[in-house]
Chain A
Amino acid sequence: MFYREAGKFRTSYAQDAQIFPLGLDKVMVGALLVFAFLIVPNIASQYWLIALLIPWLIFSLVALGQNILTGYAGQLSLGSAGFMAVGAFACYNFLLRVDGMPFLAAVALSGVCAAAVGIVFGLPSLRIRGLYLAVATLASQFFIVWVLDKFGWFKNYDPSGVITAQPIVILGYLFDSAAEKYVLVAAIVGVLALAAKNMVRSNIGRSWMAVRDMDVAAEVIGFRPMPVKLLAFAISSFYCGVAGALFAFAYLGTVEPSAFNIDMSFRILFMIIIGGVASILGSFLGAAFILLLPIFLSVLFHTVFGNAVDASMLSATELIVFGALIIFFLIVEPHGLARLWQVTKEKLRLWPFPH
């Protein structure tokens, strides 16, 4: 009934290479975009925008970066939060030190800075693999935060070490309200997600996957592992850097090295594991799971039990339920939430007459 493919013929390469070949998908994605850009900013409350949607989009972007590196190129990394920190501080310093720096240019440049740092810390990946690489990338996490903490220049010698992000101004227009910031973040994330989708469908993505599946074989068929791996590090760090800048400017409003701790790197890695390794959609679903589910549980528990149950117990129970849900989903679908969606879609194709 849904997703009918009967009678749909592709007669050109362009049709063959579409992102959404099915008619229903196109309609749904279009509707989703209209909803996200036109309807949500108008109807969503302050709380939804600031506390849920903006951080979700930003973490989806980081998860995308992590997914490019870990999911597609197969390089296990634990430095994403560090690269976010590079992006956040780069953006702050570009805006502070360069007069008349346009905000979007600063964001792009902070991505470039993060990419450069990413390449440096990606170098060990040429020699070490798997878990050992993860440990090596831990160094980036600690080193970057240490450098930003240690040298006052990055923080403009602020005595407290927590600096206030500058206001976001694009072409003279001040992005001040929650809805404006949301639209800005959604636009950037949308463009970058589209770029990522196209990258993984193209030659670049195939080279990553070849290296991921077996780097010796990839070398034999003509991919040079060094540029391929470093490109994956660069692009992944670029995404993290842009997300870090947005995290500081559109979400927190402050820039502080200790906000980008190892805990955050782990959470980003969990996002793609829960959401789906090597899946664009999975990055969004995983970010939603790790970020929004605890909040949803907390709201649910507080509305259901309110002041009737001791608050300490309530907080602990939330954590227990969250942990149990992670285990539940990993057992039910080890390939992540994106795979669940895929299964659903396959079922819908046959519905209501499964064989």
Chain B
Amino acid sequence: MFASRALKRAVAALVIGGTLAAGIGLSKEVQAQAAAAKLEQYFGIPSFRVGPFAAAGTGFFGGIIDYLTYINMTGGVNGVQLTWQECETEYIPARGIECYQRLLKRGNQQMHIFEPLSTPIAYGVLNRVDDDRVILTQYGYGRSDAADGRVFPWVFATLTSYWSGASAMINWIASREGGVANLKGKTITHLYLDNAYGREPLPVFRALAKQMGFTLQEVPVAVPGIEQTSQWLQIRQAKPDWVILWGFGAGMNSTAITSAARINFPRDRMLGIWWAASEEDMIPAGDAAKGFFGVANVPSGRQFRVVQEIEKTVYGANRGNLQDPKRIGTIYWNRGVTAAIFWVEAMRNAQARYGKGQVMNGDQLRWGFENINLTAVRAKELGIEGMLPNFRLSCEHHEGAGVIKVMQWDGTRWNTVTPDWVSSDRKMIRTMVEESAARYAAEQKITLRDCSKEK
């Protein structure tokens, strides 16, 4: 009896809920049509705010939304207002694809830029973006060989790719050791999360080890990277000169640091990739993290003008996206802000060519991306001096500057130890990118895009 009554109620609730949703959906559509008349550029935001990587997701996507809000509050892009919709991916590939499809269309608006902050999700949508004419920006992660815009016309590695990052890290270590010649005979450990992300830099490290004469010790850690006892035993036996930590998630990174402390491995001989170098990664390790070096593709701090302006304009008006305004200026948030800056820069470029004050489509935005030219003057105008390196993208070159900064953790915050950007071996990385991309093109039977025909 109870079952049937409950069933009736459940069915009734479902029917009411469904009608409600349909009704609201309809009114949304009407709104969206009205919005198009008002000139709005629509962005899809596939965020992750729950799950093991929530700290990264809330910071990064919070930064994006804060910058978009800031642009809206200061008049939009030549009068075009920005609008967006969020979708929760939980960092799961299948949910990411669902979000991609859901965000793709809203009313009569189209999504043109997709930034999931997840290598697995990026791989999942990689073969869809061509048909949908969506730009996949891969902001500091993903396929390194996507830097070849002839093979991957819709995929960018807007910031430094993993391969460039790996090369720049070795260059910085060499400079600490007093030159490349001194690397000969040294041992460098690559302690990495054993998945696509951790394995990505291996070809670069192996090539560099051969070229520079250091020994590379490869130590994989099984996902999710918390159990590292045997790995540190291995490291202790090898007595490396440097440990490169290629980890992800506060659990793995803080465990690596506390394990290093346990065997007395000096923390200032450890260098973490940018996903192992956020405030959220260091704080759980406590004092053990003091002296740890981390790579920054975007440095942390509030000293940048754009950060201060967002704080004043957006948070001053109580429209900020972060629940805890103390996180303004942290690594993840700053990274999100700069990611959104590229979206808006691409939009500005596209508008300058295709019509100011108009809504841009996918092709136009891609042209905008491929013509991003971040000069020192432009960086000053945007208030991001020292936050991003100077570089330009083009039809062939879909990767940013390929440079890093190195920071050191003092127990409470990151301090930049390289005032200038540390460069990677651009020529070597580009050759590897083109080789790998050519192999992919042959496998997938892709005809290369002819960049000389596009202006």
- Complex Cα distance, B143 from A341, in Å, reads 47
Q: A159-B200, A302-B86, A304-B24 are in contact. Are A312 and B101 (CB under 8 A)?
A: no
Q: Determine the residue in chain B with the shortest Cβ distance to A263.
A: B92
**Minimum CB–CB distance for A90 against chain B, Å:** 19
**Minimum CB–CB distance for A62 against chain B, Å:** 13
Q: Which of B50, B98, B119, B123 contacts A51 (CB 8 A)?
A: B98
By a CB distance below 8 angstroms, the chain A residues around B143 are 160
- Complex Cα distance, B85 from A314, in Å, reads 13
By a CB distance below 8 angstroms, the chain B residues around A162 are 119-120, 123, 196
Q: Which of A52, A258, A333 contacts B120 (CB 8 A)?
A: A258
Q: Does A93 contact B (CB under 8 A)?
A: no
Are B436 and A312 neighbours in the complex by a CB distance under 8 Å?
no
**Which of A117-125, A279-287, A315-323 forms contacts with chain B?**
A315-323
Q: Does B352 contact A (CB under 8 A)?
A: no
Which residues of B from 419 to 445 have beta carbons under 8 Å from A?
A: 436, 440, 443-444
Are A252 and B24 neighbours in the complex by a CB distance under 8 Å?
no
Which residues of A from 78 to 126 have beta carbons under 8 Å from B?
A: none
Q: Determine the residue in chain A with the shortest Cβ distance to B143.
A: A160
Are B120 and A311 neighbours in the complex by a CB distance under 8 Å?
no
Q: Does A24 contact B (CB under 8 A)?
A: no
Q: Which of A46, A47, A315, A332 contacts B3 (CB 8 A)?
A: A332
* Residue interface mask A133-170, B partner, CB < 8 A = 1: 00000000000001001000000000111101000000
By a CB distance below 8 angstroms, the chain A residues around B98 are 51-52, 55, 295
- Complex Cα distance, B51 from A31, in Å, reads 41
Q: Determine the residue in chain B with the shortest Cβ distance to A176.
A: B131
Q: Does A232 contact B (CB under 8 A)?
A: no
Q: A161-B199, A252-B94, A253-B128 are in contact. Are A149 and B194 (CB under 8 A)?
A: yes
Are A252 and B124 neighbours in the complex by a CB distance under 8 Å?
yes
Q: Does B87 contact A (CB under 8 A)?
A: yes
**Minimum CB–CB distance for A202 against chain B, Å:** 31
**Minimum CB–CB distance for B320 against chain A, Å:** 11
Q: Which of A160, A314, A328, A332 contacts B199 (CB 8 A)?
A: A160
- Complex Cα distance, B56 from A40, in Å, reads 39
Q: Which of A259, A302, A315, A328 contacts B50 (CB 8 A)?
A: A315
Q: Does B28 contact A (CB under 8 A)?
A: yes
Which residues of A from 41 to 67 have beta carbons under 8 Å from B?
A: 46-47, 50-52, 55
Chain A residues with a Cβ closer than 8 Å to the other chain, count: 43
Which residues of A from 183 to 226 have beta carbons under 8 Å from B?
A: none
- Complex Cα distance, B107 from A303, in Å, reads 13
By a CB distance below 8 angstroms, the chain A residues around B105 are 47
Are A159 and B203 neighbours in the complex by a CB distance under 8 Å?
yes
By a CB distance below 8 angstroms, the chain B residues around A253 are 124, 126-128
**Minimum CB–CB distance for A340 against chain B, Å:** 6
Are A303 and B25 neighbours in the complex by a CB distance under 8 Å?
yes
Q: A51-B102, A252-B94 are in contact. Are A344 and B7 (CB under 8 A)?
A: yes
By a CB distance below 8 angstroms, the chain B residues around A343 are 3-4, 7
* Residue interface mask B70-94, A partner, CB < 8 A = 1: 0000000000000001111010011
By a CB distance below 8 angstroms, the chain A residues around B58 are 312
Are B120 and A256 neighbours in the complex by a CB distance under 8 Å?
yes
Q: Which of A55, A149, A315, A332 has the most CB of B within 10 A?
A: A315
Q: Determine the residue in chain A with the shortest Cβ distance to B58.
A: A312
Q: Determine the residue in chain A with the shortest Cβ distance to B103.
A: A47
Q: Does B323 contact A (CB under 8 A)?
A: yes
Are A160 and B7 neighbours in the complex by a CB distance under 8 Å?
no
- Complex Cα distance, B4 from A238, in Å, reads 37
Are A164 and B444 neighbours in the complex by a CB distance under 8 Å?
yes
Q: Determine the residue in chain A with the shortest Cβ distance to B439.
A: A158
Which residues of B from 1 to 29 have beta carbons under 8 Å from A?
A: 2-4, 6-7, 10, 17, 20-21, 24-25, 28
**Minimum CB–CB distance for B323 against chain A, Å:** 7
Which residues of A from 295 to 353 have beta carbons under 8 Å from B?
A: 295, 298-300, 302-304, 310-312, 314-316, 318-319, 328, 332-333, 340, 343-344, 347
Q: Which of B47, B93, B123 has the most CB of A within 10 A?
A: B123
- Complex Cα distance, B51 from A312, in Å, reads 11
Q: Does B303 contact A (CB under 8 A)?
A: no
By a CB distance below 8 angstroms, the chain B residues around A256 are 93, 120, 123, 196
Which residues of B from 107 to 126 have beta carbons under 8 Å from A?
A: 119-120, 123-124, 126
Q: Does B49 contact A (CB under 8 A)?
A: yes
By a CB distance below 8 angstroms, the chain B residues around A159 are 199-200, 202-203, 436
Q: A160-B199, A347-B4 are in contact. Are A55 and B28 (CB under 8 A)?
A: no
Q: A159-B436, A256-B123, A258-B223 are in contact. Are A316 and B28 (CB under 8 A)?
A: no
Are A298 and B87 neighbours in the complex by a CB distance under 8 Å?
yes
Interface pairs (6), CB distance under 8 Å? A47-B101, A162-B123, A254-B127, A259-B93, A299-B102, A302-B87
Besides A146-B222, A300-B21, A347-B4, 13 more A-B contacts (Cβ < 8 Å) are A46-B104, A47-B101, A51-B98, A149-B195, A251-B94, A252-B93, A252-B124, A295-B95, A295-B98, A300-B17, A311-B88, A312-B50, A316-B49
A residues within 8 Å of B by Cβ? 46-47, 50-52, 55, 146, 149, 159-162, 164, 251-254, 256, 258-259, 261, 295, 298-300, 302-304, 310-312, 314-316, 318-319, 328, 332-333, 340, 343-344, 347
